[in-house]
Amino acid sequence: MPSKGSKEEPEPECQDPGGDESQSTEQLNVSRLRSSSVEIREKGSEFLKEELHKAQKELKLKDKECERLSKVREQLEQELEELTASLFEEAHKMVREANTKQAASEKQLREARGKIDMLQAEVTALKTLVITSTPSSPNRELHPQLQSPTKAVFRKGHGRNKSTSSAVITAASQSVTPEPVSHECKEVDSILFAEFQAWKESPTLDKSCSFLDRIYREDVGPCLDFTKQELSELVRAAVEQNTLTIEPVASQTLPVVKMSAVECGGPKKCALSGLPRTCKHRIMLGDSGNYYYISPSCRARITAVCNFFTYIRYIQQGLVRQDVELMYWEVMRLRREMSLAKLGFFPSEM
């Protein structure tokens, strides 16, 4: 037995070799698990990085593709807009050309109709002259050498080629009686010439312009102011619209009265003046079919106004190729014819 004074020493524990081995194995397994999980995490991270990189690449490719498609779309839209604008411009151009051609065709048609009407009037007048010219009673207009010298010089016909007819008449009169030729003095009125020049810059048939307004007041209005006011207005409108027809009345033709005899007159009564006169001509206003018998004096007044309107229409249509001053003097001559006709002066053959 040990003594009381002595200390008890602990007995050394007995070490189990089997327990140490299991513990080390467990630690090894834990370390292996840890290394495996780290390795798995690293591999997972690398895989995710690779997938992310692939996704970013695909996204960049898709962005580039979207950008390319957007550019293609913008280009197509621009081309479509340009094509649409080009088509509209071409369509407008075709419409403008068609309208221009139509306007030119209508203008040519109007001019052709005017020329046809003029030629028909000339043919009718020539037929009348031929019919009224016989060996026993020759027509002095067809045979100017039979006219008296004074009458041959001052006669004013209604033929279209007035310069030629005047030359023939003057030559004939000079061959009969050589008399000194009297030269007419002329001087341009500055106010009238300025008004004509302003009108010539932009020719129009609108009577509100100063040039035509003056002629309407001083010449056209008084010349077409007849006793029968209502019929006078109709005649004036027909002259302005170029729809008045004058035709000779053959001696064997019976009067065609579609309105009252008082309004239309007759071969022995003028419808415009209401006076008993021998009426060798009759007028028709437009396509009404109503004829009005007119005296030679009324016919002279109407034809004088018609000649004036015909000439200014030719100027408006660009058919007169003359100097401005020559055109001005022709207008003044036509105005003088209207004034003379209004005062009662007209050729005896009318």
Three-state secondary-structure class, residue 207? coil
Tell me what the pLDDT averaged over the chain comes to.
Answer: 78
Beta bridge partners of 282: 247, 293
- Tell me the three-class secondary structure of 234-259, residue by residue: HHHHHHHCCCEEEEECCCCCCCCCCC
Judge if 241 and 319 occupy the same domain: yes
Distance (Å, whole) CA 140 – CA 145 = 8
Give the per-residue pLDDT at 40: 84
With a CB cutoff of 8 Å and minimum separation 6, the contacts of 323 are none
Residue carrying structure tokens 């048609």: 109
Same domain, residue pair 202 and 349: yes
Instruction: Tell me the Cα Rg of the chain.
Output: 55
Residues 345 and 217 in one domain: yes
CB atoms within 10 A of CB 302: 24
Residue 9 domain flag: no
Q: Is residue 277 part of a domain?
A: yes
- Model confidence pLDDT, tens digit, residues 100-130: 999 999 889 988 888 888 888 778 777 665 5
Q: Where are the alpha helices (DSSP H) in 177-267?
A: 190-201, 210-215, 221-223, 229-240, 261-264
The SS3 of residue 35 is helix
> Structural domain of residue 164, as residue ranges?
133-178
* 207 and 88 in a common domain: no
Give domain status of residue 282, yes or no: yes
- Is the pTM above the cut of 0.75? no
Element (H, E) at 294: strand 291-294
Are both 233 and 140 inside the same structural domain? Answer: no
- For residue 156, the one-letter residue type is K
Inside any domain, residue 107 = yes
The pLDDT value recorded for residue 111 is 85
Which residues, at least 6 apart from 189, have a Cβ–Cβ distance to it below 8 Å? none
Q: Say yes or no: 50 and 155 in one domain.
A: no
User: What does residue 166 show for φ and ψ, rounded to 5 degrees?
Assistant: -65, -40
Q: How many CA atoms lie within 13 A of 50 on its CB side?
A: 6
Q: Around Cβ 41, how many Cβ atoms within 10 Å?
A: 10
Would 290 be classed as within a structural domain? yes
264 vs 293: CA distance, rounded Å: 6
| Residue 151, pLDDT score | 39
Cβ atoms within 10 A of the Cβ of 330, count?
17
Within this chain, do residues 111 and 224 fall inside the same structural domain, yes or no? no
Token pair listed for 249:
């009345």
Supply the pLDDT for residue 182: 54
Last residue of a domain, one of 123, 145, 162: 123
Same domain, 205 and 343: yes
Report how many domains make up the chain. 3
* Residue 6 belongs to a domain: no
Residues 140 and 214 in one domain: no
Question: Which segments in the chain show pLDDT lower than 70?
Answer: 1-21, 127-183, 251-266, 349-350
Q: Are residues 205 and 287 in the same domain?
A: yes
Do 222 and 342 sit in the same domain of this protein? yes
Residues sharing a CB contact under 8 Å with residue 213, sequence separation 6 or more, in sequence order: 207
- Res 346: pLDDT: 87
**Sign (positive or negative) of CA dihedral 248, 252, 253, 255:** positive
Within-domain flag for 328: yes
Classify residue 29: in a domain, yes or no.
no
pLDDT of residue 258: 44
Indicate if 79 and 171 belong to the same structural domain.
no
What is the C-alpha separation between 11 and 114, in angstroms, rounded? Answer: 155
